[in-house]
A = this chain, B = another copy of it.
Amino acid sequence: MSSYQASGYWYSEGDSVPEAVDLLNLMRRYREAERRMRAATRGSMGMNETDMSALRFLLAAHREGVTPRQRDFAEELGISNASVSVLIDRLCRDGYAERVVHPADRRSVGIVPTDYSDTEVRGTLHRMHEQMMDAVGTLSEDERVAVAKFLEAMIRSVEIDDEPRQPSAGKGAVRESALPSR
């Protein structure tokens, strides 16, 4: 039972079906692989985790035509305004972003990505995203339904964790803003 297959392809062999624990192991392996991949990207760009997240957020916002303020970064990243101020200093110093006057509020600083940062990130994370889309594209409808069911279950498992009983309470999910930041 639950034979561990380092890089097996269950679906095409036909004889051994993955068990629950195998799926959880795959989830863990994915998490590790993704973490390594992000670390490599980050490393190759000489950035830390937070700055990388900030840059991704900035690029996403920019693609939607929005010019975020520093305040928005603080909320998105869960760090203080003061820390964001220094973070944006770093992004500007390294040529990834620029401060502009915010059109609607002169108290605020609008942040825009440079062309350089866009191409830099596209070369890595964007390519990964496309590869994932291609990979998932080969699944049948039934398979996609199964995967969705699985992921929903996983999300529920880690979300309701605080209140295992009392299904009708409807609350008890760990809320981001309520976390003790230290």
**Which A residues have a C-beta under 8 Å from some C-beta of B?**
7, 9-11, 17-24, 26-27, 29-31, 33-34, 36-37, 39-40, 43-44, 46, 124, 127-129, 131-139, 141-162, 164, 174, 176, 179-182
* A148 to B11 Cα, complex, angstroms: 8
Contact of A148 among B23, B137, B162 (CB under 8 A): B23
Q: Can you pick out 27 interface pairs between chain A and chain B where the beta carbons lie within 8 Å of each other?
A: A7-B152, A10-B149, A17-B141, A17-B145, A18-B145, A18-B147, A19-B144, A20-B133, A20-B139, A21-B133, A23-B136, A23-B144, A24-B129, A24-B136, A29-B151, A36-B158, A37-B161, A40-B179, A43-B174, A43-B181, A44-B174, A44-B180, A46-B180, A124-B161, A127-B161, A132-B153, A146-B146
11 additional contacts (CB under 8 A) given A30-B151, A31-B31, A146-B147 = A10-B145, A11-B148, A18-B145, A19-B144, A20-B133, A26-B148, A43-B180, A127-B164, A131-B164, A132-B154, A135-B156
Contact assessment for A22 and B180 in the assembled complex, using a CB-CB cutoff below 8 Å: no
Contact of A155 among B23, B30, B154 (CB under 8 A): B30
Contact assessment for B176 and A40 in the assembled complex, using a CB-CB cutoff below 8 Å: yes
* A174 to B35 Cα, complex, angstroms: 11
Contact assessment for B30 and A158 in the assembled complex, using a CB-CB cutoff below 8 Å: yes
Q: How far is the CB of A92 from chain B (nearest CB, A)?
A: 19
* A156 to B135 Cα, complex, angstroms: 9
